[in-house]
Amino acid sequence: MMVTLINSILGPNGALSLAHALSGALVLVSFMMLYQDRLSAVINVLALHSAVLGLAVAWQAWIQAEPQLYITAVIALGFKAMIIPLALHRIVRRLNIHREVEAAVGIGLTMLAGMGLVALSLVVMLHTAAHSAVLAREDVALALATILLGMLMMIARRNAVSQIAGFMSLENGLILAAAGAEGMPLVVEISVTFSIVIAFIVIGVFLFRIRERFDTIDSTALDAFRGELQ
Amino acid sequence: MTSTILFCALAWILLGGFGALRGRTPEAGAVVYGGSFIVAVIASGAAILQLGFGVAPGVAVVLPLGLPHLGMNFQITALSAAFLIITDVGAAAASLYAVGHGRNEREPWRVLPFFPVFIAAMNMVLIAADAYDFLIFWELMSLSSWALVVAHHEDEEARTSGVVYLLMASSGTLALLLAFGLLAGVHGQYDFASIRADHPGSWIGAVVMLLALFGAGSKAGLVPLHIWLPRAHPAAPSHVSALMSGVMTKVAVYAFVLIVFDFLGKPAWWWGLIVLIMGGITAVLGVLYALMEHDLKRLLAYHTVENIGIIFIGLGLALAFRAERLDVCAALALAAAVFHAFNHSLFKNLLFLGSGAVLARTGERDMERLGGLLRRMPQTGLLFLIGSVAISGLPPLNGFASEWMLFQAILLSPRLSAWSLKLAVPSVGAMLALAAALSAACFIKVFGITFLGRPRSPAASAATETDVFCRAGMIGLAALCIVVGLAPGMVIDLFAPVTRSLLGARLPAGHGMSWLTVVPISLSRSSYNPLSIFALIAAGGGFAAVILHRYGSRIICRAPPWGCGYASPEDASDAFPPVGTQYSASGFAQPIRRVFGSFVFNARDEVTMPPPGDVAPAHLVSALIDPVWQGCYAPLLVLVGWAADRANRLQFLTIRRYLTIVFITLVGLLVWIAPWG
């Protein structure tokens, strides 16, 4: 009923185009993350990113009538939009690093590269999935763009917290793609979520360790520790 | 018949399982080897029935294993039946021998699980009817034989040999995998029936031929791919060495014949040329290596290299004749090659088993520490002599029959039209003749130094005759050498379906007369009747023996008091240590080392003499340089080391660099697929 209501407002395929709009919003938030130069701002954008993902997944659950997708949405909203950002904030406060962001690549260059990546993912999907429906195809293209932007975030920053943010936005892109494809089994989602949580725990513990030893969480410090940076 | 072989393979695998579970019990050896012997007799009987008496092969057996939509297909063809006979006759003899020989094994549980599985894998390779099965069992064959090579793992040399063998075996399998991939074509038809049905284009056919030459050649031991063979074959227990040298190399020959003759259709003229030249080089280098070698088992392994060269000369000739549509000549060359493969499996098995008996009773492989064994192990010595005469290509034994047929095929080369072949074939024929002569010289050395003269070490002087099972295994093989030598027509007729099915032609053979005479082309041209030659040799030899005994032994021998160390009659007590000196293996090989070794191996003899008046012994050190190792493998090792050093840098990048590499790779791949999709 809701679908028909939306369709009557937004025209035919309105339900799908709303899903499309949410995917586009996710890419937009990824771009927001790329130009933040404070750690606390990066974490806030990450929370927003996960919240948008939660909405997008919940909408997919509605239009596909797949109740188990709601669980995914709740996990995204609860864990990734609240608990993990709060924990990251706490880490940043305890380590007293809320002012610093060391970008390895300049912000402008990063943004340009990000645009190139979005264009690339659209072109790839246009060619490889020429037979599927336009909206489904572009959803996957946007998810791919989110993944690539997450990777870009990871390599454009030196700070380990920013790298965690990049990694989690990459995972968000994966979940978006999975939720868009109809009938992804719940087991896979749960395992993906748990892998994120474990990655968070491991990296969190790891951060404190680096901090204790080197007084910084710049991951290049690790290389000196390995004895490989002369 | 296909299912009979499959049941035999299952029985072998079960015996291997028994060996794995109960290998430490004292009766396990008798059960496993005795069982293998019985199964091998059944399997060879089935193969002979199929090939010789035209029993229908039956429908292909498809097991619901393996690839989906394909299953595991098994089917005996004429070619595989011929090689099944070679394999299972060899396996039967080696198993019977091992019933006795296995008792000498220190850790039999390292051998028992793998020996029957190795035989089963070779049988399965021969009856496989799709590429997937073929490669699976080919790998099983390599791995089980590898496990047998490193059975004496406490020996440093065996471990190194194992590594070299594993490297060469896997690169050979890779080449075969690529060859089958090309043969399967774009539709991925991996069953042999579809591969046979459509012939690939000339360009792909040429690549497949070269890959098959590499893949099968590395298993068979073609120079320069032989490098593992003289290390791995001797390292294994002797009955396994016999199987590896006598039988497994023939499975490799089967793979080459299967791919090149059965799957590829009409060959290009230069295929034969490449195979011929590689075969010629292999034959000559193999026997030269053997002459330089004084380790009994390694010398035999080098002779395997030589004989593989002879077989590949036959295959190359068959390819050359076939390219010019001379099918009868091609049939002669191919029949000679397959016949020689059979003969080699007989006498090489026999010789390895004989060397195993010597090794078990003396603990020595070095010929310089053997000697005088004919008096201590008379039966083994006589059997070894039969094998030596056969491998040297002397009439009336089987080695002569197949080499003679091969020479008949070489003499047909003027019928070829390509000039390069017209020139190459006679020179390869000269190389073959050289190899045959040198191999006779080499076996005079082997038999003379090992079995004649007087013992050169206490171990050799204390040797005793080997046990009854060992002798039974060798007697069977020696009897086959003699029977096949005297009635070669019988075996040629047995193998005739091979050439008929592959080339559509067969030998005109002297069927009009009797199967005792071999007539390869026509009666006016040449024929070989081994029985009459045998009668001539027996009469001449008997006459000479009578003369010598009647008149020779009456002459009184007076030895000079200062005999330069040579024995006087009073010293002939045959005890160790000997009073005098005697001819040594390196001394025997020295003229050949001077003539060929100095230019092939860059051989240098260095003599250190004590100063006059000093009683210290003089020393002779001869140094060889292996041209194949220097030319092919040493540069390859340098290259691999260089590449590894470059790649090693990848281990010491920062985390961000690694992420960047992953990212750039991903983006690069996406950019690459973007235009096509």
- Asked whether the beta carbons of A200 and A87 are under 8 A apart, the reply is yes
How do B71-74 and B61-67 pair as beta strands?
antiparallel
pLDDT on residue B564: 52
Hey, is the C-beta of B671 within 8 angstroms of any chain A C-beta? yes
**How far is A139 from A16, CA to CA, in rounded Å?**
10
pLDDT on residue B504: 78
The number of helices, as runs of H, and strands, as runs of E, in chain B is 27, 4
Dihedral sign for Cα atoms in the order B300, B305, B308, B314 = negative
Residues in chain A, overall count: 230
Tell me if residue B467 falls in helix, strand or coil.
coil
- HSE-up of residue B356 (Cα within 13 Å, Cβ side): 33
Please tell me the distance in Å from A221's CA to the nearest CA on chain B.
10
Report the residue of chain B nearest A221, measured CA to CA.
B654
Asked whether the beta carbons of residue B659 and residue A222 sit closer than 8 angstroms, the reply is no
Asked whether the beta carbons of residue A148 and residue B674 sit closer than 8 angstroms, the reply is no
Residue B675 has pLDDT above 70, yes or no: yes
Ranges B307-321, B343-357, B653-667: which has the least confidence: B653-667
Report the residue of chain A nearest B660, measured CA to CA.
A155
Ranges B150-164, B201-215, B247-261, B607-621: which has the least confidence: B607-621
Please tell me the distance in Å from B632's CA to the nearest CA on chain A.
36
Hey, is the C-beta of A154 within 8 angstroms of any chain B C-beta? yes
Hey, is the C-beta of A219 within 8 angstroms of any chain B C-beta? yes
Q: Which ranges constitute the DSSP H helices of chain A?
A: 2-10, 14-34, 39-64, 68-75, 84-95, 107-128, 134-156, 160-180, 186-214, 220-225
Ranges A67-71, A163-167, B30-34, B151-155: which has the least confidence: A67-71
**How far is A180 from A61, CA to CA, in rounded Å?**
9
A18 or B263: which carries more pLDDT confidence?
A: B263
Hey, is the C-beta of B618 within 8 angstroms of any chain A C-beta? no
Q: Rounded to an integer, what is the distance from CA B269 to the centroid of its chain?
A: 27
What does pTM read for this prediction?
0.80
Mean pLDDT of B341-352: 96
Q: How is B197-249 classified by DSSP, letter by letter?
A: HSPPPHHHHHHHHHHHHHHHHHHHT-TTS-TTHHHHHHHS-HHHHHHIIIIIH
pLDDT on residue B336: 93
User: Which residues of A fall within a CB distance of 8 Å from B660?
Assistant: 155
Hey, is the C-beta of B677 within 8 angstroms of any chain A C-beta? yes
Asked whether the beta carbons of residue A220 and residue B656 sit closer than 8 angstroms, the reply is yes
Bridge partner list, B607? B620
pLDDT on residue B569: 46
Tell me if residue B118 falls in helix, strand or coil.
helix
A 10 A CB-CB count for B222 gives 27
Asked whether the beta carbons of residue B663 and residue A121 sit closer than 8 angstroms, the reply is no
Whole domain around residue A77: which residue ranges? Answer: 2-225
Tell me if residue B73 falls in helix, strand or coil.
strand
Residue listed under structure tokens 């396996």: B91
Residues 628-667 of B with CB under 8 A from A: 652, 654-656, 659-660, 662-663, 666-667
DSSP B88: H
Peptide bond preceding B426 in cis form (omega within 30 of 0) = no
- Nearest CB neighbour to A130, from listed B660, B670, B677: B677
pLDDT bucket at B530, cuts 50 / 70 / 90: confident
pLDDT on residue A209: 63
Ranges A119-123, B40-44, B596-600: which has the least confidence: B596-600
Mean pLDDT of B641-656: 85
Choose the mutation target among A102, A121, A123, A174 for the interface with B, i.e. most B CBs under 10 Å. Answer: A123
pLDDT bucket at B190, cuts 50 / 70 / 90: confident
**A230 domain residue, yes or no:** no
pLDDT on residue B339: 94
**A168 domain residue, yes or no:** yes
Choose the mutation target among A122, A125, A154 for the interface with B, i.e. most B CBs under 10 Å. Answer: A154
Question: B673: Cβ–Cβ under 8 A, 6 or more apart, which residues?
Answer: A124, A127, A128
Q: How is B542-597 classified by DSSP, letter by letter?
A: HHHHHHHHHHGGGSPP---SS-TTPPPGGGTT--SS-SS----HHHHHHHHIIIII
pLDDT on residue B333: 93
Residue listed under structure tokens 């909408």: A59
Choose the mutation target among B657, B659, B660, B665 for the interface with A, i.e. most A CBs under 10 Å. Answer: B659
- Asked whether the beta carbons of A69 and A201 are under 8 A apart, the reply is no
Asked whether the beta carbons of residue B667 and residue A148 sit closer than 8 angstroms, the reply is yes
Report the residue of chain A nearest B656, measured CA to CA.
A155
**How far is B237 from B359, CA to CA, in rounded Å?**
10
Average per-residue pLDDT in chain A?
Answer: 78
Q: Could you tell me if residue A227 is left (phi over 0), alpha (psi between -120 and 50 degrees) or otherwise beta? A: left
pLDDT on residue A128: 79
How do B71-74 and B604-608 pair as beta strands?
unpaired
* Tokens found for residue B167: 């490297």
**A190 domain residue, yes or no:** yes
Closest CA to B310 of B406, B182, B173: B406
Asked whether the beta carbons of residue A104 and residue B656 sit closer than 8 angstroms, the reply is yes
Residue listed under structure tokens 């939306």: A6
Q: What phi, psi does B71 have (nearest 5°)? A: 70, -170
User: Which residues of A fall within a CB distance of 8 Å from B663?
Assistant: 148, 151-152, 154-155
The 10s digit of each residue's pLDDT in B460-482 is 888 899 999 999 999 999 999 99
Residue B223 has pLDDT above 90, yes or no: no
Hey, is the C-beta of B674 within 8 angstroms of any chain A C-beta? yes
User: Which residues of A fall within a CB distance of 8 Å from B654?
Assistant: 219-220, 222-223, 229
- Asked whether the beta carbons of B212 and B179 are under 8 A apart, the reply is yes
pLDDT on residue A227: 56
- Asked whether the beta carbons of B215 and B182 are under 8 A apart, the reply is no
> Crossing angle, helix B327-362 and helix B249-257, to 10 degrees?
170
Tell me if residue B507 falls in helix, strand or coil.
coil
Residue B434 has pLDDT above 90, yes or no: yes
Q: Which amino acid is at B391?
A: I
Average per-residue pLDDT in chain B?
Answer: 88
Please tell me the distance in Å from B68's CA to the nearest CA on chain A.
26
- Asked whether the beta carbons of B530 and B502 are under 8 A apart, the reply is no
The 10s digit of each residue's pLDDT in B1-23 is 788 999 999 999 999 999 999 98
Report the residue of chain A nearest B670, measured CA to CA.
A124
Residue B512 has pLDDT above 50, yes or no: no
Asked if the ipTM is above 0.90, the reply is no
Question: B373: Cβ–Cβ under 8 A, 6 or more apart, which residues?
Answer: B358, B362, B380, B381, B450, B451, B455, B460, B463
Helix H or strand E segment including B169: helix B156-184
Ranges A173-182, B85-94, B120-129, B509-518: which has the least confidence: B509-518
- Asked whether the beta carbons of B370 and B450 are under 8 A apart, the reply is yes
Asked whether the beta carbons of residue A123 and residue B674 sit closer than 8 angstroms, the reply is yes
How do B61-67 and B604-608 pair as beta strands?
unpaired
Q: Helix/strand/coil (H, E, C) string of B600-655? A: HCCCEEEEECCCCCCCCCCEEEEECCCHHHHHHHHHHHHHHHHHHHHHHHHHHCCH
Please tell me the distance in Å from B663's CA to the nearest CA on chain A.
7
Please tell me the distance in Å from A115's CA to the nearest CA on chain B.
13
Choose the mutation target among A121, A223, A226, A229 for the interface with B, i.e. most B CBs under 10 Å. Answer: A223
Ranges B56-60, B67-71, B359-363: which has the least confidence: B56-60
pLDDT on residue B554: 66
Hey, is the C-beta of A222 within 8 angstroms of any chain B C-beta? yes
Residue A228 has pLDDT above 70, yes or no: no
Hey, is the C-beta of A165 within 8 angstroms of any chain B C-beta? no
Choose the mutation target among A102, A109, A124, A131 for the interface with B, i.e. most B CBs under 10 Å. Answer: A124
pLDDT bucket at A223, cuts 50 / 70 / 90: low
Mean pLDDT of B332-338: 93
Residue listed under structure tokens 């454009």: A156
pLDDT on residue B208: 94
Please tell me the distance in Å from A10's CA to the nearest CA on chain B.
33
Q: What phi, psi does B528 have (nearest 5°)? A: -135, 120
Ranges B205-219, B444-458, B481-495, B582-596: which has the least confidence: B582-596
Helix H or strand E segment including B273: helix B269-292
DSSP A104: S
- Asked whether the beta carbons of B235 and B321 are under 8 A apart, the reply is no
- HSE-up of residue B308 (Cα within 13 Å, Cβ side): 35
* Tokens found for residue B614: 């000093």
**How far is A156 from A140, CA to CA, in rounded Å?**
24
B52 or A12: which carries more pLDDT confidence?
A: B52
Asked whether the beta carbons of residue A155 and residue B663 sit closer than 8 angstroms, the reply is yes
The 10s digit of each residue's pLDDT in B98-140 is 999 988 888 889 999 999 999 999 999 999 999 999 999 999 9
**How far is B377 from B459, CA to CA, in rounded Å?**
13
Dihedral sign for Cα atoms in the order B136, B138, B142, B144 = positive
pLDDT on residue B579: 45
B388 or A67: which carries more pLDDT confidence?
A: B388
A 10 A CB-CB count for B156 gives 8
Percentage of the residues of chain A whose pLDDT score is greater than 90: 16
Asked whether the beta carbons of residue A120 and residue B676 sit closer than 8 angstroms, the reply is no
* Tokens found for residue A161: 């917290």
Peptide bond preceding B577 in cis form (omega within 30 of 0) = yes
Asked whether the beta carbons of residue B670 and residue A130 sit closer than 8 angstroms, the reply is no
User: Which residues of A fall within a CB distance of 8 Å from B669?
Assistant: none
- Asked whether the beta carbons of B221 and B305 are under 8 A apart, the reply is yes
Residue B568 has pLDDT above 50, yes or no: no
Tell me if residue A17 falls in helix, strand or coil.
helix
pLDDT on residue A11: 60
User: Which residues of B fall within a CB distance of 8 Å from A223?
Assistant: 654-655
From first CA to last CA, the distance across chain B in angstroms is: 50
User: Which residues of B fall within a CB distance of 8 Å from A152?
Assistant: 663
| C-alpha separations of B543 from B9, B396, B530, B548 in Å | 51, 18, 20, 9
User: Which residues of A fall within a CB distance of 8 Å from B661?
Assistant: none
**How far is A60 from A163, CA to CA, in rounded Å?**
29
Number of domains in chain A: 1
pLDDT bucket at B319, cuts 50 / 70 / 90: very high
Helix H or strand E segment including B61: strand B61-67
- Asked whether the beta carbons of B214 and B270 are under 8 A apart, the reply is no
pLDDT bucket at B82, cuts 50 / 70 / 90: very high
- Asked whether the beta carbons of B137 and B125 are under 8 A apart, the reply is yes
Peptide bond preceding B64 in cis form (omega within 30 of 0) = no
Asked whether the beta carbons of residue A127 and residue B670 sit closer than 8 angstroms, the reply is no
- Nearest CB neighbour to A127, from listed B660, B666, B677: B677
pLDDT on residue B218: 94
